[in-house]
Structure formats: C-alpha cells, structure tokens
Amino acid sequence: MNILITGAAGFLGSHLCDKLTALGHQVIGMDNFITGNPENLAHLAGNPNFSFIHHDVSNFIFVPGKVDFILHFASPASPNPASPLGYPNLPIQTMKAGALGTHNTLGVAIAQSARFLLASTSEIYGDPLEHPQKETYWGHVDPIGSRSVYDEAKRFAEALTMAYHRFHGVNTRIIRIFNTYGPRMRLDDGRVVPNFIQQALRGEPLTIYGDGLQTRSFCFVSDLIEGITRLMMSEEHMPVNIGNPAETSILEFAQTINRLTGNKAGIVIKADKRLGDDPQRRQPDITRARQILGWEPTISLEEGLSLTIPYFKQKMGMA
C-alpha cells in the first residue's frame, strides 16, 4: 500500500515508518518538526520505500500520487508544562493538529478513497472514575484545565473521525494509546520516563511530583507498534485501547529505574507539587484488543527499560 503517516518524525511515527517500510509498503512521512526530530528518520534516507513531505497538517494537505491508507499521528504529546515541547506550551498548535489536522487528513481520505487511522489517547478518559478504563467509558475531563488543549483536541478528533465514517462512509479506525516508552523519546520531552532515566544516569535523586502513589501502565514501543499494525489491517471502526495493563505506581517505577541503572541517589518526593490535572490512576482494559486483534503486550517493564536505557546513555554521551 501507499501509506501517509503524519507526525512521522515523532517517537511513535518514526517507529511506524520503520515497521511499514520493512513490510514492503510505500510510506510517505509528513512532519513540520515542531516536536518531531529529523534524526528519527535519518536512517531512512535513500530507502526506496520511504519519502518525506515537510508540512504542517493544520494547513491544506496535498499528496502527489495515490494514497491507500492514512495514519494521523501529528500532535504534541507531553503534558509537562516545564518542557518547551509540552502541549501546555504549544496549546494552539496542539488544538490545530487535533482539529484542523484531523479534518485535513480525513479530507485526503475522502479524495483518495483511503482508509484512515486516528491516533487517539488514554487522555480522553481524563482523571478516570472508572478503573481500569474500558472503551465504553466516557471520561472525566476538565474542558478548561491545563490538559484540556490535548484532551479536548483528541476527543474532538474522535468525534470528527466517527462523523466522517457515519456520514461519508470513510473506512476509519481509532486507537487509544496508553503510556508508551522506548528508544527515540526526546530527552527534553518532559514525561516521566525520560526524566527519571536521565536523572538516574546523572546520579541524581529521582523527583516525584505528588505522593508517588499515582499509577501508570507502561507499554514498550514495539508492542504498541504491533497493536497499531493489527488494528490497521482489521475492519474495526470503534475505538480500541492499546497499552500494557500491568499497573505500577510512580514510586515503584522510580525504584525500578534506580535499580536498573545502579543509581544510589534515591528519590525525592514533592507531595505538595502534584502537576495540575495529573490523573491518579491509569490502566487500560485491553479485552477488545485481545478479542478483535489477538493482541497483548509481550515485553515486561524491566525488559523494555533495559532496551531503553542504553539509548538515553548514547544520547547523553555516556555510552
């Protein structure tokens, strides 16, 4: 197939480019590099299965030639206001990528009679009152809170995708992605995995904001990419959670990072500085992914971190 991937230079987008070119598809990557990193695609230069368009999806999209499938992954994704790449510092760009970007990519899908996959997020559940979160849960979201620019952009993108499916008959899919980690995460991303690993490698105490009892479920990137690929090839139109249901507290996660890196500096807990709207619990119910896609994660947290830490060492000049 000829496949358009928006956000191709991002963490997930670049891994998708690798996977789909390796399967023999012709991949067209698209990115404006606001948060995407050109280095993530450098190894694909000269690959006959890959081409690239430097473009902002918030503007009208023209792709020469035939497009069979569109994967819309363009968006800032970090909730950390301390990071210049966090969506609290890119609020308008984030909402435009979710709203105008989804509208424009769906327009390409109509024009090309292409299939379409929207990268949505567990953030549409907000600070959930249901645990674990099923796809049928409508969420507990503050529409004007610090995370709202991302949460509401993705909720709108899901609604728009389903409107195009129901009204125009576009062959759509929606994936709700839970916390994912692995090589190619940006060092200045601001999320917990790069923050903790870098602090640990520098021999610093790991900083936890809040009491550390808030939970996350971490999925290694190769597992996630396999789930996306299976959803692509399915005929499922309703949202599907893809993530690792193994729940861990942030405190336990920090202890694991320190143990794997040999960091003796310990942990600093700043209980009075919980990030605004930071969800207390986050765990996917992946029953539908198991039933519809025959998918579940295979890589444990320790195995995945052991594959991720060397990447950060190399990027920090410590390898």
Q: Which two tokens stand for residue 93?
A: 């760009």
Euclidean distance between CA atoms 205 and 72, whole angstroms: 38
* 150 annotated active-site: yes
DSSP letter string over the chain?
-EEEEETTTSHHHHHHHHHHHHTT-EEEEEE--SS--GGGGGGGTT-TTEEEEE--TTS----SS---EEEE--S--B--TTSTTBGGGSHHHHHHHHHHHHHHHHHHHHHHT-EEEEEEEGGGGBS-SSSSBPTT---B--TTSTTHHHHHHHHHHHHHHHHHHHHH---EEEEEE--EE-TT--TTS-SHHHHHHHHHHTTPPEEEES-S--EEE-EEHHHHHHHHHHHHTS---S-EEES---EEEHHHHHHHHHHHHT--S-EEEETT-PPTT--S---B--HHIIIII-----S-HHHHHHHHHHHHHHHTT--
CA distance 135 to 10: 25
Catalytic: which of 87, 150, 164, 209?
150
Catalytic residue numbers? 150
